[in-house]
């Protein structure tokens, strides 16, 4: 019996899971190819929601999609693991051992062969080599990081409450992640107060540090100004043109000599590809470690390897590392890869800007149309923008679950409000 064509997708983020699901439902289901998804986690979350997991305002299991469950329903295989090496000659990848926090090895190093490889390994915050950041700061680049931060946040909040102290949190990075996290942490404390935290909830002091002249630089200046005003109204201290020169266990140091004390230090600035891309010998990388690809999303050096999402860089026509781009690239490959497998031609990827949206918890939100026109804000507290943000999340769920399971998911979320606390308390 002839060997099926093997498509291996590394990374189960927005792009990776969407591609695995679509290819599984087409060439996987028909038996024309064997689709395998690899990820170091066992569950997928919508990356624009990571700040909610970090704050504890999204703890519902329904907000996580099990890779094993998704694979069984959509005709692809799931392998747990993290890519550690690539052998283009042998057409194989090496997966690092799976190790428990205790140090016990659960799975040894493994190799996985492919006929077509799709790298969708996402991105992480870029500390730019700033002294002390890697050792003393928390990141929220993935679900593990977000849950780890939430554990620390709840313990430090309890300590502040018990000792009648203020909890200082400093966040570096005034982009969408850092800005939304600052608002979501305040929302978490507001919600916790509803569950009789005590006579008085702990005091929370959040400082948002942005190296540039304004927060949310990807949005129009009017949105940046309105968002800063909203953050300051709920008690967040916003510092722009604040260049961080170092970090230690007690806070941040700025280049002008100012010291920002903080019990919890979060780094949410910059974007770079995972460090593993620099281990792939002979591949051209962008300055931030992204894999350079042709407009067809194939690597410059290898027709059988594709890259998409945050880890890919189209040198001829760069696009921003956003969820919107990743989703469109996944749809593009899902359409053309089956034809390419059968000898057809690939088509160049073309990005279609659908606008952008940012939501500051329940406090406010703004969005932009493709032409740059702004909506949201105002006396309705940006309800239109916040609803668009929610709708984008539901669209993602429906795409992966299908219509019926998507509707059930919405119903479960609605019922869950009456059963569980609206913020993680344990």
Closest to 367 measured CA to CA, from 385, 390, 352: 385
Dihedral sign from CA coordinates of 400, 405, 406, 412: negative
pLDDT, one tens digit per residue, over 114-154 is 999 999 999 999 999 999 999 999 999 988 899 999 999 99
* 4-38 residue pLDDT tens: 999 999 999 999 999 999 999 999 999 999 999 99
Residue 60 has pLDDT above 90, yes or no: no
pLDDT of residue 376: 92
Q: Kindly report, residue by residue over 231-249, the tens digit of the pLDDT.
A: 999 999 999 999 999 999 9
| CA quadruple 208, 213, 215, 218: dihedral sign | negative
Q: Determine phi and psi for 196, rounding to 5 degrees.
A: 55, 55
Rounded to the nearest integer, the mean pLDDT of the chain is 92
Is residue 229 within 8 A of residue 201, CB to CB? The reply is no
Q: What is the pLDDT of residue 88?
A: 96
SS3 3: coil
Structure tokens at 426: 């344990």
DSSP state of 75: T
pLDDT in tens, 334-377: 999 999 999 999 999 999 999 999 999 889 999 999 988 999 99
C-alpha 379/C-alpha 382 separation (Å) is: 8
- Position 194 scores a pLDDT of 63
- Provide the pLDDT for residue 144: 86
**pTM of the full structure:** 0.92
Say if CB 172 and CB 252 are below 8 A apart.
yes
In order of their start, the domains of the chain are 5-123+273-342 (3.50.50.60), 126-270 (3.50.50.60), 355-418 (no CATH)
Residue 62's alpha-carbon distances to 215, 359, 397, 411, 421, in angstroms, are 32, 21, 10, 11, 15
For 304, other C-beta atoms within 10 Å of its C-beta total 13
- Closest listed residue to residue 19, CA positions, set 38, 3, 4, 5: 38
Task: Give the 3-state secondary structure of 344-405.
Answer: CCCCCCCCCCCCEEEEECCCEEEEECCCCCEEECCCCCCHHHHHHHHHHHHHHHHHHHCHHH
């Amino acid at each position: 019996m002839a060997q099926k064509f093997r498509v291996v997708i590394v990374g189960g983020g927005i792009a990776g899971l969407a591609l695995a699901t679509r290819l599984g439902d087409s060439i996987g289901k028909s038996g024309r190819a064997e689709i395998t998804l690899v990820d170091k986690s066992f569950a997928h979350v919508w990356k624009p929601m990571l700040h909610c997991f970090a704050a504890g305002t999204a703890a519902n299991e329904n907000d996580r999609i099990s890779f094993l469950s998704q694979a069984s329903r959509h005709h692809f295989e799931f392998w747990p693991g993290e890519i550690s090496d690539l052998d283009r000659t042998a057409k194989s990848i090496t997966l690092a051992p799976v190790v428990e926090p205790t140090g016990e090895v659960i799975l040894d190093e493994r190799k996985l062969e492919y006929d077509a490889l799709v790298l969708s390994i996402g991105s992480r915050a870029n500390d730019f080599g700033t002294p002390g950041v890697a050792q003393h700061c928390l990141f929220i680049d993935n679900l593990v990081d977000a849950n780890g931060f939430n554990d620390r946040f709840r313990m430090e909040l309890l300590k502040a409450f018990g000792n009648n102290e203020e909890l200082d949190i400093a966040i570096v990075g005034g982009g969408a992640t850092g800005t939304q996290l600052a608002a979501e942490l305040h929302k978490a404390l507001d919600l916790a107060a509803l569950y009789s935290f005590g006579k008085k909830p702990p005091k929370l002091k959040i400082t948002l540090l942005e190296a540039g002249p304004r927060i949310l630089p990807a949005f129009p200046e009017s949105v940046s100004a309105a968002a800063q005003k909203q953050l300051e109204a709920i008690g967040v201290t916003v510092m722009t043109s604040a260049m961080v020169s170092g970090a230690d266990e007690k806070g941040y140091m700025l280049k002008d000599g100012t010291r920002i004390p903080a019990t919890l230090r979060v780094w949410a600035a910059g974007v770079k590809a995972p460090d593993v891309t620099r281990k792939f010998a002979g591949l051209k990388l962008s300055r931030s470690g992204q894999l350079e690809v042709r407009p067809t999303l194939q690597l410059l050096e290898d027709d059988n390897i594709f890259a998409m999402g945050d880890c890919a860089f189209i040198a001829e026509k760069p696009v921003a590392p956003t969820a919107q781009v990743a989703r469109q690239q996944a749809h593009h490959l899902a359409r053309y890869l089956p034809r390419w497998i059968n000898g057809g031609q690939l088509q160049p990827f073309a990005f279609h800007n659908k606008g952008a949206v940012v939501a500051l918890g329940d406090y406010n939100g703004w969005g932009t149309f493709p032409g740059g026109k702004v909506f949201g804000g105002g006396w309705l507290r940006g309800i239109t923008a916040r609803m668009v943000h929610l709708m984008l999340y539901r669209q993602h769920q429906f795409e992966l679950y299908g219509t019926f399971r998507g509707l059930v998911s919405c119903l479960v979320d609605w019922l869950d409000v009456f059963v569980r606390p609206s913020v993680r308390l344990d």
